[in-house]
Structure 1
Amino acid sequence: MGIEIEKKFTVKEFPLDLDTYPCHIIEQGYLNTSPAVRVRREDDHYYMTYKGSAPAEEGGIGKVEYNMPLDAESYAHLVKKCDGNLIKKTRYLLPLNEDAFDSEYLLKNPQFKSALGNGDIKIELDVFKSPFDGRQLAEVEFPSEEAAKAYHPASWFNEDVTGDYHYSNSYMSTEEL
């Protein structure tokens, strides 16, 4: 079990060199949306995920997340049982923007500065395929809520939609198109 602490943003423009970054091809469906129980194929890896509310202080952005590995056969069986829209997207892994944190914050958090230097924290840019062509969302996962609050969004981000369920993949799976 882990706690997922992430911020989510709409995108006003793509980075110019997007095709130079590593990416994953993702397909996922939802067996349940509250709590979220999904099955996912990410490239040639398969797993089931449970996401629920975190036992964090009121107003926190963390969520409990369990990932359980599946094989291709199990995924193929379970994805047929999913309700609603199947989500298909390309996820690009981009380095965190250079102005993501104030230098004072980094001085007070040397272990975090090290994680940044190693590229452990990335921007995940999701570019959705049919039936959601044209949608793009960027997410950044953080090691703590303090780091999430201190983060300065990249210049190519638009609106901070963290916590707005309309931008969750589970909600998208239920949208009538």
Structure 2
Amino acid sequence: MAIEIERKFLLANDAWRSQIQHSTRIAQGYLATDPTVRVRVKGTTGFLTIKGKSADGISRAEFEYPIPVEDALELLNLCPNVLDKTRHLISQGNLTWEIDEFHGDNAGLIVAELELPAIDTPFEKPDWLGQEVTGDVRYYNSMLSQTPYCRW
């Protein structure tokens, strides 16, 4: 079984922008949220992802499968709300920060995520990193699709 171990943070400033190595526009929607069933179009590739519940707020089961982009686009039409974001990548040692800059109803929200190989993996916190929001459900993408940032 695949396990996702992820930490999530707000950003303290815009200094991260000068370190971006790659950016991709992403559209994603949710067919279900318990368990999470996500459809994503990332660039020209489609994905179907199923995520279990988090027992510790940091890790959970995750199964992700590539699907034809045409199928992903059709499935997004079944989703009540579709998130629009740009994902920026910043490598730091053997780890990669994924910084999601949201658009539309979630514009103004920027969140940095770091996937770890183990819960106790040490990592350097860059100067641009702000408050940790790992366990705050408001920042889950599935929740942002239901209650967008503009309504907080």
Q: TM-score scaled by structure 2?
A: 0.89
Is the CA contact 1:46–1:70 (under 8 Å) kept in the aligned structure 2?
yes
Backbone CA RMSD of aligned residues: 1.8
Deviations 1:31-85 (A, max 9, x none): 011211110000111011001136xxx63621110012211221121111112x3
Match of 1:81?
78
1:79-158 equivalent positions in 2, closer than 5 A: 79-83=76-80, 85-96=81-92, 116=93, 120-147=94-121, 150-158=122-130
Deviating beyond 3 angstroms after TM superposition, the runs of 4 or more aligned structure 1 residues are 16-20
CA distance in 1, matches of 2:98, 2:30: 21
CA distance in 1, matches of 2:76, 2:85: 16
Structure 2 runs not aligned, ≥5 long: none
> Which of 1 and 2 has greater Rg?
1
Is the CA contact 1:60–1:145 (under 8 Å) kept in the aligned structure 2?
no
Q: Which structure dedicates a bigger proportion of its chain to strand?
A: 2
CA distance in 1, matches of 2:64, 2:133: 24
Deviations 1:122-146 (A, max 9, x none): 1111111112111000001110011
Is the CA contact 2:39–2:48 (under 8 Å) kept in the aligned structure 1?
yes
Structure 1 runs not aligned, ≥5 long: 97-115
Match of 2:28?
28
